[in-house]
A and B are shown apart, each in its own frame.
Chain A
Amino acid sequence: MGCCQPIDKVTAIVEQYKGEKGALIPVLHAVQKELGYLPKDALETIAAGLNIPASEVYGTTTFYTLFSTKEKAENIIRVCESGPCHVSGYQKVLEAIKEELNIEVGEATEDKKFYLEMTACLGVCAEAPAIMINDKTYVNLTPEKVKALLASF
Chain B
Amino acid sequence: MNYIETDGVKIVLRNFGKIDPLKVEEYVARGGYESLKKALTAMTPEAVIEEVKASGLRGRGGAGFPTGLKWSFTKKDADQKYIVCNADEGEPGTAKDRLIMTGDPHGLIEGMAIAGYAIGATKGFIYCRGEYTTSINTLNHAINQARENGFLGENLFGTDFTFNLEVRSGAGAYVCGEETALIESIEGHRGMPRFKPPFPGGAGLWGKPTVVNNVETLANVPVILDKGADWYKSIGTEKSAGTKIFILCGNLRNTGALELPFGMTVREVMETYGGGLLTGRDLQMVHLGGAASGIMPPALIDTPLTYEDLQAVGQGLGSGVILAIDDQKDFMSYICSNTHFFEHESCGKCTPCREGTARINEILHRIAAGDGTLEDLDNLKDLGEMMQISALCGLGQAAPTPVLTSLEHFMDKYVEAVSGKKNEVNEEAVATEAIHKSYYEAAPIKLD
B174 is an interface residue with CB less than 8 A from chain A: yes
Q: How many residues of A contact B (CB 8 A)?
A: 55
Task: Kindly identify, within residues 189 to 219 of chain B, every residue whose CB is under 8 Å from any CB belonging to chain A.
Answer: 189-191, 206
Contact bitstring B72-94, A, C-beta under 8 A = 1, else 0: 00000000000000000111111
Contact B255 A60 (CB under 8 A): no
Chain B residues near A59 (CB-CB < 8 A): 190
A26 within 8 A of B: yes
Q: Which residues of A contact B338 (CB under 8 A)?
A: 83
Complex interface: stretch among B303-311, B391-399, B430-438 = B430-438
Binds A, one of B6-14, B143-151, B245-253: B245-253
A-B contact count (CB 8 A): 175
Contacting pair B447 A83 (CB below 8 A): no
Residues of B within 8 A of A146 (CB): none
A117 CA to B94 CA, complexed, in Å: 21
Give A63's nearest chain B residue, CB to CB. Answer: B190
- A108 CA to B125 CA, complexed, in Å: 36
**Cβ-defined contact, A82 with B92, below 8 A:** yes
Q: Is the CB of A25 within 8 A of B444?
A: no
A153 at the interface (CB under 8 A from B): no
Q: Which residue in A24, A60, A118, A121 is a CB contact (below 8 Å) of B94? A: A121
Q: A84-B323, A124-B1 are in contact. Are A63 and B173 (CB under 8 A)?
A: yes
Residues facing B in A16-74 (CB within 8 A) are: 21-26, 28-29, 39-40, 43-44, 52, 54-56, 58-60, 62-70
Does B25 sit within 8 A of A, measured CB to CB? no
Q: Are B257 and A126 in contact (CB under 8 A)?
A: yes
Q: Indicate whether A88 reaches chain B with its CB closer than 8 angstroms.
A: yes
Contact between A40 and B188, CB atoms less than 8 A apart: no
What is the total number of residues of chain B having a CB less than 8 Å from a CB of chain A? 68
Centre residue among A25, A40, A69, A70 by max chain B CB count within 10 A:
A25
Q: Would you give the shortest CB distance from A38 to chain B, in whole angstroms? A: 9
Q: How far is the CA of A29 from the CA of B95 in the complex (A)?
A: 23
Tell me the nearest residue of chain A to B329, going by C-beta: A87
> How far, in whole Å, are A60 and B329 apart by their CA atoms in the complex?
38
Chain A's nearest CB lies how many Å from the CB of B126? 13
Q: Which B residue sits closest to A60, measured CB to CB?
A: B190
A10 CB → nearest B CB, Å = 15
B442: chain A residues at CB < 8 Å are 70, 106
A87 and B323 contacting across the interface, CB-CB below 8 Å: yes
The answer to whether B133 has its CB under 8 Å from any CB of chain A is yes
Q: Please, how many angstroms separate the alpha-carbon atoms of A55 and B170 in the complex?
A: 20
State whether A62 touches B444 (Cβ < 8 A).
yes
B132 CB-CB contact with A under 8 Å: yes
List A contacts of B190 (CB < 8 A).
Answer: 59-60, 63
Cβ of B268 within 8 Å of any chain A Cβ, yes or no, is no
B residues near A, CB below 8 A?
Answer: 1-2, 89-95, 98, 129-133, 168-174, 185-191, 206, 247-251, 255-257, 287, 291, 321, 323, 325-326, 329, 333-334, 337-338, 341, 344-345, 347, 428, 431-432, 435-436, 438-442, 444-448
A-B contact pairs, 9 of them (CB 8 A): A40-B445, A69-B445, A81-B432, A83-B323, A83-B337, A120-B344, A121-B94, A123-B132, A125-B93
| 10 nearest A-B pairs in the assembled complex, by CB-CB distance | A64-B171, A24-B188, A82-B92, A66-B172, A65-B172, A126-B255, A121-B92, A63-B190, A125-B249, A22-B188
Q: Which residues of A does B touch, CB under 8 Å? A: 21-26, 28-29, 39-40, 43-44, 52, 54-56, 58-60, 62-70, 81-84, 86-88, 91, 94, 104-106, 117-128, 132, 135, 137
